[in-house]
Chains A and B, each alone.
Chain A
Amino acid sequence: MTNPAGTHPAGANPSGIGASIRRREDQRFLTGRGTYTDDINRPHQVHAFILRSPYAHARIGGFDLTAARAAPGVVAIFTGADLVADKVGSLPCGWQIHSKDGSPMIEPPHPPLVTDRVRHVGDQVALVLAETKAQARDAAELIVVDYQELPAVTGTRDALAPGAPLVHDQAASNLCFDWHLGDPAAVDAAFARAHHVTRIDLINNRLIANAMEPRAAIGEYDRATDDYTLWTTSQNPHVIRLLMGGFVLGIPEHKLRVIAPDVGGGFGSKIFHYAEEALVTWAARKIHRPVKWTADRSESFMSDAHGRDHVTHAELALDANGKFLGLRVNTIANMGAYLSTFAPSVPTYLYATLLAGQYATPAIYAEVRAVFTHTVPVDAYRGAGRPEACYVIERLVENAARELGIDRAELRRRNFIPPSAMPYATPVALEYDCGLFHRDLDEALTLIDYAGFPARKADSARRGKLRGIGFANYIEACGIAPSNIAGALGARAGLYESAEVRFHPTGSVTVFTGSHSHGQGHETTFSQLVSDRFGIPIDKIEIVHGDTSKVPFGMGTYGSRSLAVGGSAIAKAMDKIVAKGRKIAAHMLEAAETDIEFNAGRFSVAGTDRALGIADIALSAYVPHNYPLDELEPGLDEQSFYDPKNFTFPNGCQICELEIDPDTGVTKILAFVAADDFGKVINPMIVEGQVHGGIAQGIGQALMENCVYDSQSGQLLTGSYMDYCMPRADDLPSFQVAYHEEAPCTHNPLGVKGCGEAGTIGGSAAVMNAVVDALADRGITHLDMPATPERVWRALRDAMPAQAAE
């Protein structure tokens, strides 16, 4: 690491770019003084309880609400019919995919409350409003629903089987879309001349995000002004305002304020517009009282969007020297019962476009079929498509190396896209701007002491343990994205970011950003950008986010986009501040504007000692007594909307080393290293923390986490922490992470690429490659995630029946 955590470059601004200052927001979080949605209570509010479907699939014959309505404290009970009567719309999908034949994806309605059919366990059936939460829940138990249970399908592959129960009548064979990307003829030709083909069948297991803070929402309606306010646990309040106001409730932007206060983690699951947000907002007007809903943990498991869930067959064609000739991928992706906000983009443009990885594979063809099942909707989860792509590529590469007897590092080196080929157009629609893949690999090899691995493996063997090492050389497309490209690919929104930088008269600064922090540390990182540029201390800088009435606009935080897009917007707004300040300084210093230099908060006349601090300039802008009023408006408050020219491409090499106990099948991770390229780094400590968290989630998917449905009943079997296994601190090693800044992003003003998802992108692939490496001596070439002790033990037993009896 060039700049270890807790330090800053000597002589530099102690709170500027590159300084590992502590996160400012943690003081309030760690002392219990955060303001989360559930901490907010409105005068005269009622509490909502949502009655959810206990069945995966059932027809609703009718409701008997008589007893429930008479229950103590009940204010109102609503069902889907009430929404229909009020012309409440369907929860919209924000990304449209077209199938191979040009037809649009099947997009069934997603009602906030169902009317006649439930389609997954947890589907919203009725809204109960009462004076207390307990009363609402008590009353919900008195609702009689006439369910006629129907057969359900939950398995991704099973959804396409002939005769499978249909989730939506309009989606024949449960197919949502049948999409492809790449050149099939070129790929066929590559395979025809291949010296060797490596094939793999794999499952990318379904995950549940499990943010620490459960979702919550409060709706409020002001009869006097006809204004609505929604407080919600969202990663992007402006997008919620747009989707809910525009498509579900028909409320124009100027009458709808959405506030996402402190939010306790999202990992993607809080990007989406959820039924509960629309329900509390709609109901607040119906009953003229604020309506508050907070999920309990069991509800979170069955109503937060899930992640991943792919079934894939993939083939890699190589020539005699181990050069990759072609890649062919066929994936079935589970969408769940309805299309969540960005669901269709995840297994398509966030997945297949990344299938080149770090390699110069000349021909790639991917086919993706998305299917409906009777399960919770699936959408973006940390990494969103890119970990799935990395997993396919890196599992193939590692197996190919083993099959061909080529060292795994060497095979990668032979196929890396060299720096000289940058910018590099992949066969799957992306243009990488830069990347030093050899450098990342070399650094990771040093960190893990790759040369010493055989000796360590022998030592493990002496202790009866199976040691393995596995790599993941990942690349991700972040900073999503140029609006014109996203639009061409089916996005129904722009993907820029806004910022407003407001200099106050006495020299402090408020920054309004459309990004949203829910654990990433924006209040610190963004402040460092401002401190660095303006030379003012961090305690004079305030970062405001998460309120549509304060921030001009915003597309929110996901896809590691906050710094690359939101930070760049702040940089652009600061450019405008400096440009105006230069004019003011020129006037005050009686010099030509072209002679004014700006550096670290000081405007000076070139070649002289005459200078003014930016605080003096700000004061003059607000007290314009000596001011170029005929040329400039007073005030120092600038806005920017930044739309990037391209994605950013963070990349790196992760290596995992682990040991398996063949007696029990238990895998213990011994070392995990990551050598990353995030472009310029603003706060190394925060970056390191993001990488740690990402790797933890990658390891979680590889070894522990798994969302399981009963294939017969469609019940969610992993509906609590008793069965859904989250990684804990003692499951993880101490990570060794490093980064370099030698390949800054070429097209944004900060040179930054994003780091939020990186650990997750490669984490699960590195772990599974190491697991398979540990088992390879026993003839095992693949294991699906999670590599639980029993799965490993069974693989060993089936591979070597004589030894398993031990």
Chain B
Amino acid sequence: MYDFDYLRPTTVADAVALLAQRSEAKFLAGGQTLLPTLKQRLAQPEAVIDLSRIAALQGIREDGDALVIGAMTLHADVAASALVLRVIPALAALAGEIGDRQVRNRGTLGGSISNNDPAADYPGAVLGLGATIETDRRSIAADDFFTGMFETALDPGEIVTSVRFPVPQRAAYRKFPNPASRYATAGVFVARTVDGVRVAVTGAGATVFRVPAIEDALAADFSPAALTGITVDDDGLNSDIHASAAYRAHLIMVLARRAVAAIS
């Protein structure tokens, strides 16, 4: 790890201002990606701006027909929240299966989606539920937020403040963990909402993506049997020493069927 300045503002405005003052600064949320990167000397920021003391980024609340979760909320807190368990149990379950206990007690929702690791779990829920990402300057629809591998629609210096999850009728997430890292080799989030069915796949591609063929089939008949015969093209899917693109394409359909079976 190289030396850097450590800054810990208490307001979003201060955090944004501090970042603007520095030529090479990084926001620190839970640090589950940034800290290993620093330890490996793969990044050399001049300053690290810790967002953990900003009260406005914390908390879980119900707001009409939506659940609003502060960007700095820990995975463990989402997993254990009575409110989340009651309103969107699939989201609590997803948070409870991220990484391991240590990761869940440091990692945050905002950090996860801002980093947009292709193998992260949260993007599956955010896109699958059609959530809205609130930042210090605007609202971004999930469909517009995840733009590529480790890329999002966030502007430089823009901070995610919260995520607004519309409450679905039913939802389920099924993932196939990489046996070594336990990141998602593939994860499928299926949500049945008043507006239709949404299916988001994480882990398998450069970034989270929806599968219209599965959504259409489930819109017509929300049952595992409706997915018979549907395949996902493996072109463009991730391929590594643990799972080829073809295997991931296969897993997507297995996981989709299992998610549907869990809620149909």
Flag A726-743 by CB within 8 Å of B: 1 or 0 each: 100001000000000000
With A664-B254, A788-B242 as known contacts, state yes or no: A793 contacts B247, CB within 8 Å.
Answer: yes
Q: Closest residue of chain B to A804, judged by CB? A: B250
How does the 8 Å CB contact mask read for B224-263 relative to A, with 1 for contact and 0 for none?
0000000000000000011110010011001000000000
Q: How far is the CB of B230 from chain A (nearest CB, A)?
A: 11
A790 close to chain B: CB less than 8 A: yes
Q: A717-B241, A718-B241 are in contact. Are A793 and B250 (CB under 8 A)?
A: yes
Tell me the smallest distance from the CB of A783 to a CB of chain B, in Å: 15
Whole-angstrom CA separation of A76 from B243 in the bound complex: 46
- The answer, among B2, B181, B243, B251, for a CB contact under 8 Å with A722, is B181
**Per-residue contact bits, chain A 659-689, to B (CB 8 Å; 1 contact, 0 not):** 0000110000000000000000000000000
Total count of chain A residues near the partner, CB < 8 A: 23
Q: Does B176 contact A (CB under 8 A)?
A: yes
Shortest CB-to-CB span from B169 to chain A, Å, is 27
| Contacts A663-B254, A664-B251, A664-B254 given; does A790 touch B242 at CB 8 Å | yes
Question: Which residues from chain A contact B41 at a C-beta distance below 8 Å?
Answer: 137, 141
Partner of B180, one of A298, A663, A721, A793: A721
Q: Which A residue sits closest to B3, measured CB to CB? A: A134
Given A718-B241, A793-B250, is A788 in contact with B179 using a C-beta cutoff of 8 Å?
yes
**CB nearest neighbor in B for A298:** B40
Contact indicator B241/A708 (Cβ below 8 Å): yes
A723 touches B181 (CB 8 A): yes
Q: How many chain-B residues does the 8 Å CB contact rule pick out? A: 17
A723 lies within 8 A of B242 (CB): yes
Complex Cα distance A731/B254, Å? 21
Q: Does A724 contact B (CB under 8 A)?
A: yes
Assess the B244–A725 pair: CB atoms within 8 A.
Answer: no
Least CB distance, A711 to chain B, in whole angstroms: 12
Shortest distance from the beta carbon of B175 to any chain A beta carbon, whole Å: 11
Smallest Cβ-Cβ distance to A666: which chain B residue: B176
A664 to B2, CA, bound (A): 43
Docked pose: A790 CA to B247 CA in angstroms:
7
Are B247 and A723 touching (Cβ within 8 A)? no
Contact A789 B179 (CB under 8 A): yes
Residues from chain A with a CB closer than 8 A to the CB of B176 are: 664, 789
User: Chain B contacts of A134 at CB under 8 A?
Assistant: 1
Give CA–CA (A664, B181) in the complex, Å: 18
Complex interface bits, A134-164 against B, C-beta within 8 A gives 1, otherwise 0: 1001100100000000000000000000000
Question: What residues of chain A lie closer than 8 Å to B254, measured between beta carbons?
Answer: 663-664
* Bound complex: CA A722 to CA B40 (Å): 14
Residues of B near A718 (CB, < 8 A) are 241
Residues in A with CB closer than 8 Å to B40 are 298
Show 29 A/B contacts (Cβ-Cβ < 8 Å), sorted by A.
A137-B41, A138-B2, A298-B40, A663-B254, A664-B254, A704-B179, A708-B241, A717-B241, A718-B241, A721-B180, A721-B181, A722-B180, A722-B181, A722-B183, A723-B180, A723-B241, A723-B242, A725-B179, A725-B180, A726-B180, A788-B242, A789-B176, A789-B243, A789-B247, A790-B242, A790-B244, A790-B247, A793-B247, A793-B250
Binding site for A on B (CB under 8 A): 1-2, 40-41, 176, 179-181, 183, 241-244, 247, 250-251, 254
Shortest 8 CB-CB contacts between residues of A and residues of B? A725-B180, A722-B181, A790-B247, A725-B179, A663-B254, A708-B241, A790-B243, A723-B180
